[in-house]
Amino acid sequence: MSNGLVTAGIDIGSTTSKAALWIDEHLGPYVIGPSTTNPRETARECYEKVLELATLQAKDVACVFGTGYGRAKVSFADENVSELSAHGKGARILLPSARTIIDIGGQDTKVISLDANGEMIDFVTNDKCAAGTGRFLEFIARSVGIDVKNLAKLHATGSYQPVTLSSMCSVFIESEVINLVNDEVPLNSIIQGLHQSVATRVAALVKRLGIVQDVIVTGGVAKNAGVVDELERKLGIKVKTFPDHIDPQIVGAIGAAIIARQKYLKQSKKTNA
Amino acid sequence: MAILGKQRKEDWEVVYEGAVGLIELYEEDPESKGMNAIIKGFRKFTEMLFAAEDEGRPIVWHNCGCSPELIRGLEGVQPMPIEVLTVLQDLIGDANYTLAVIDEAEGHGMAPEVCSIDKAAIGIVLKGLYPEQACGLYHNTPCDSQIAAIKALTELTNKPMRMMDVPYLSGDREIRYLAKQFREAIPFLEEHTKRKFSWEKFRQVCEESNRTAEYLRDWNELRKHIPCPQVSKIVALNTALLVAFSGDPEGTVIAKAFRDEAKERIGRGESAVVGGELYRAVWYQDPIWWDLQFYDWMESELKLVIPMDLFGYYAAEALIDTSTPESMLEGLARKSLRVMPMSRQFKGPIDYFIDDYLRLCVDYQADFGIFAGHVACKHGLGGIGLFREASREAGIPLLYFEFDMFDPRVTPAETIQENIAHFIEDVVKPRKEAA
């Protein structure tokens, strides 16, 4: 139970769905779960779970915003906001020095550029190709019999000798990886090469916008230290991490909750004026 | 519908019918003075072209970098831009037509990466649709693609051509260099058209060109008004006006109609956007010519108006000093270097291109810029990184997307609409609200 102003953000992504509460100026409980074929139900389940964690009821939440691919399906939301706006806002509030946000999600990658005041000034997205996304990593990990969560650990194992994956398409990369496995190339080298391949695509997208530091990575793939490591090599910079070990996967949900708060306060001010 | 009472090739008939149909449509709307004037101009251009052919008068082909005043200095000679049928089909005929002529050119071996307007010109010539030329007068601007196309056209038609070497910079030395080439081109034109060049005729043509420029200068000022008084699509027609009608009284009629309409609408307190404009953007790079209704969509769905685009804002620099033959040649050279669409922007250092953009954004109080990247235009797209940097430093959001100004197969309208709508929703609207 909270006495503060509570707002919620529900991020229905292509691969995972997230819900986060923003209580006054702080992050409250959050949940992450898989997206399903019923985004409406997924949103409700996430919301119920996060309320349960916070020991709150829906009536205690002043405003709910949906975001992500399935944002229109968050039927109980007061409004919805694009994932670009949500990630931009979330990253900026959590890390005020952030100027470039790289969001590597399940099925797309977005790069967002903020101006010195924290307002979004430009963005680019890669939503036409699977290569360079979380789904791509899952797909390849499955084809070589590895849990996607172990990719970062394998990346850091042994010496750093990434193989060069020459294919541009995830379908062809899969056969290339299988050939490398059959040729008994060490698995860590293959994984390093895989991460390098993802980082190359993402870095090209970042360079289209131009690098303005600080740079932060969000989305599920941000949890893969191997990809982040390769991205730093490609961009020639150190990327920042969020304070207090905030999970980079929930930045969109947090951003939606913060925007919900700002809208709610603005509306209240108007009503009271 | 027969042009000048004679049946012409079907492709031209389509253009002519389109013009006639649109004139009827716009004539019913007394507020469409500008659109009506330019469509009438297109119809008249078609008539003048075929009148020249029927009367056995020489036709000189030229490209969009080459302003036609010098050609008009020869009595009875009709200039014809090599892009004309493509542009007319896109604007008032059948926009799908361009795709067929592009395919025709590619089928004959033109490289796919060549600019679509150049491929289309080749396709049209391969189909034998242009009236025969006495000779060609060209500038080696705005791009390499056009130079390649001109060489191909010359080979296909087996007619003489003269190519002006347009220098990289646009200072006084470069003006003199180009003016000298104009003088040298006169005997070439006389030899192949069998017509005499008249300095008095050239002076009259330059004076006409100046009158057009003066109206355009006033019009440019009027479009700074908030709300923008006139529809956005009219801005996309600037290029056609300059290339086809410079030095022609019809150009002055069109420019005056643009100016008068803007002035009258401001007087009546009217906005281009029904319900009121919410956003203003400067459209940079090339217009969407395959669907002028795209501009209507921006106004009705997004409440977005384009007060000015890349190719329209330099009319005041087009004035030609008509006091002596040398001053006229230098004035035309100045116009070629500093005003003609694309030549001004793409031939020299990128700084001019960027400075123009930033100036337009300030002068027209734009909320953002739209860099519509025509895919074949490496001269423009090569600088996108610098553009982004400059825009960011100036605090002006810049939307960039790639498309083809003559070929909707590259990026369909729906994708471009989505890009613009998202950019407004995610970038422009929050910034306006925060301000």
Q: Say if residue B172 is in the same domain as residue B262.
A: no
CA distance A222 to chain B (A): 23
**What pLDDT score does A130 carry?**
66
Contact in structure between B229 and B265 (CB atoms under 8 Å): yes
Among chain A, residues having any CB pair with chain B shorter than 8 Å are: 82, 84-85, 88, 113, 115, 117, 119-123, 208-210, 212
A210 to B385: CB separation less than 8 angstroms, yes or no: yes
Domain-terminating residue out of B166, B199, B232: B199
Sheet holding B398-403, edge to edge: B304-305, B279-285, B368-374, B398-403
Residues A245, A132: Cα–Cα separation, whole Å: 24
Q: Which one-letter DSSP state was computed for residue B395?
A: T
Which of A82, A113, A115 is nearest residue B395 as measured by Cβ atoms?
Answer: A115
Q: Say if residue B181 is in the same domain as residue B280.
A: no
Within-domain flag for B159: yes
Within-domain flag for B3: no
Residues B392, A113: Cα–Cα separation, whole Å: 9
ipTM of model: 0.78
pLDDT in tens, B98-157: 999 999 999 999 998 899 999 999 999 999 999 999 999 999 988 889 999 999 999 999
B392 to A210: CB separation less than 8 angstroms, yes or no: yes
In A, minimum Cα distance to B391 occurs at: A121
Within-domain flag for B120: yes
The residue with tokens 């229905």 is A12
Domain-terminating residue out of B170, B199, B228: B199
Sheet holding A16-23, edge to edge: A26-34, A16-23, A6-12, A63-67, A79-80
Q: Left if phi > 0, otherwise alpha if psi is -120 to 50, otherwise beta: which for A22?
A: beta
Q: Say if residue B127 is in the same domain as residue B214.
A: no
Q: Say if residue B136 is in the same domain as residue B157.
A: yes
Q: Which one-letter DSSP state was computed for residue B6?
A: B
**What pLDDT score does B341 carry?**
85
Q: Say if residue B345 is in the same domain as residue B277.
A: yes
Q: Say if residue B89 is in the same domain as residue B140.
A: yes
Q: Most A CBs within 10 Å: which of B361, B423, B427, as the mutation test of the A interface?
A: B427
In A, minimum Cα distance to B383 occurs at: A208
Within-domain flag for B40: yes
**Domains detected in chain A:** 1-95+247-273 (3.30.420.40), 98-241 (3.30.420.40)
Q: Say if residue B190 is in the same domain as residue B209.
A: no
Contact in structure between B177 and B167 (CB atoms under 8 Å): yes
Question: Nearest CA to B238 among B184, B292, B176, B196?
Answer: B292
CA distance A40 to chain B (A): 23
Any CB–CB contact under 8 A between B432 and chain A? no
In B, minimum Cα distance to A208 occurs at: B385
C-alpha count within 13 angstroms, C-beta hemisphere, residue B357: 31
A197: exposed, middle or buried (Cβ count in 10 Å: 0-12, 13-18, 19+): buried
Give the H/E segment covering residue B371.
strand B368-374
**What pLDDT score does B344 carry?**
87
Written as one letter, the residue type at B201 is K
In A, minimum Cα distance to B398 occurs at: A122
**What pLDDT score does B35 carry?**
92
Q: Say if residue B230 is in the same domain as residue B333.
A: yes
**What pLDDT score does A170 carry?**
67
pLDDT in tens, A128-183: 666 678 888 888 888 888 888 888 888 988 889 998 887 667 677 788 888 888 88
pLDDT greater than 60 at residue A2: no
* Intervals of chain B under pLDDT 50: none
Within-domain flag for B1: no
Domain-terminating residue out of B199, B219, B243: B199
HEC assignment per residue over B333-344? HHHHHHCCCCHH
Contacts of B277 (CB under 8 A, 6+ apart): B226, B227, B228, B271, B299, B303, B304, B305
Contacts of A273 (CB under 8 A, 6+ apart): none
Contacts of B180 (CB under 8 A, 6+ apart): none
Sheet holding B161-164, edge to edge: B78-81, B59-62, B135-139, B161-164
Q: Say if residue B210 is in the same domain as residue B333.
A: yes
Contact in structure between B383 and B94 (CB atoms under 8 Å): no
Q: What is the largest CA-CA distance in chain B?
A: 66
Q: Say if residue B268 is in the same domain as residue B182.
A: no
Report chain A's terminal Cα–Cα distance, integer Å: 29
- The domain tally of chain B equals 2
CA distance A146 to chain B (A): 38
Residues in chain A: 273
Q: Say if residue B184 is in the same domain as residue B211.
A: no
CA dihedral B422, B428, B429, B430 (to 10 degrees): 110
Q: How many CB pairs under 8 A join A and B?
A: 42
Helices (H), B93-171: 96-107, 116-126, 144-157
Q: Which one-letter DSSP state was computed for residue B132?
A: P
A85: exposed, middle or buried (Cβ count in 10 Å: 0-12, 13-18, 19+): buried
Contact in structure between A94 and A243 (CB atoms under 8 Å): yes
CATH code for the domain in which residue B340 is found: 3.40.50.11900
Within-domain flag for B4: no
Q: Say if residue B237 is in the same domain as residue B268.
A: yes
CA distance B264 to chain A (A): 37
Report strand pairing: B135-139 vs A215-218: unpaired
C-alpha count within 13 angstroms, C-beta hemisphere, residue B392: 25
Residues A100, A187: Cα–Cα separation, whole Å: 32
Residues B141, B178: Cα–Cα separation, whole Å: 12
Within-domain flag for B2: no
> Does pTM top 0.95 for this prediction?
no
User: What residue numbers bound the domain in which B67 lies?
Assistant: 10-199
Any CB–CB contact under 8 A between B435 and chain A? no
In angstroms, the Cα distances linking A137 to A9, A25, A109, A141 are: 27, 35, 13, 6
**What pLDDT score does A174 carry?**
80
pLDDT in tens, A88-142: 999 999 999 999 999 998 888 999 999 999 999 999 988 666 667 888 888 888 8
A30 phi and psi, to 5 degrees? -150, 160
Question: Nearest CA to A103 among A77, A67, A78?
Answer: A67
HEC assignment per residue over chain A? CCCCCEEEEEEECCCEEEEEEEECCEEEEEEEEECCCCHHHHHHHHHHHHHHHCCCCHHHCCEEEEECCCHHHCCCCCEECCHHHHHHHHHHHHCCCCCEEEEECCCCEEEEEECCCCCEEEEEEECCCCCCCHHHHHHHHHHCCCCHHHHHHHHCCCCCCCCCCCCCCHHHHHHHHHHHHHCCCCHHHHHHHHHHHHHHHHHHHHHHHCCCCCEEEECHHHHCHHHHHHHHHHHCCCCECCHHHCCHHHHHHHHHHHHHHHHHHHHHHHHHC
Report chain B's terminal Cα–Cα distance, integer Å: 55
Within-domain flag for B165: yes
Give the H/E segment covering residue B80.
strand B78-81
Residues A102, A217: Cα–Cα separation, whole Å: 5
Question: Nearest CA to A20 among A226, A270, A238, A218?
Answer: A218
Q: What is the largest CA-CA distance in chain A?
A: 73
pLDDT in tens, A192-235: 988 998 898 899 999 988 899 999 999 989 999 999 999 999 99
Residues of B in contact with A113 (CB under 8 A): 392
Mean predicted confidence (pLDDT) in A259-272: 90
Query: What b/e string do you get for B54-92 counting C-beta neighbours within 10 Å, with b at 16 or more?
Result: eeebbbbbbbbbbbbbbbbbbeebbbbbbbbbbbbbbbb
CATH code for the domain in which residue B180 is found: 3.40.50.11890
Residues of B in contact with A208 (CB under 8 A): 385
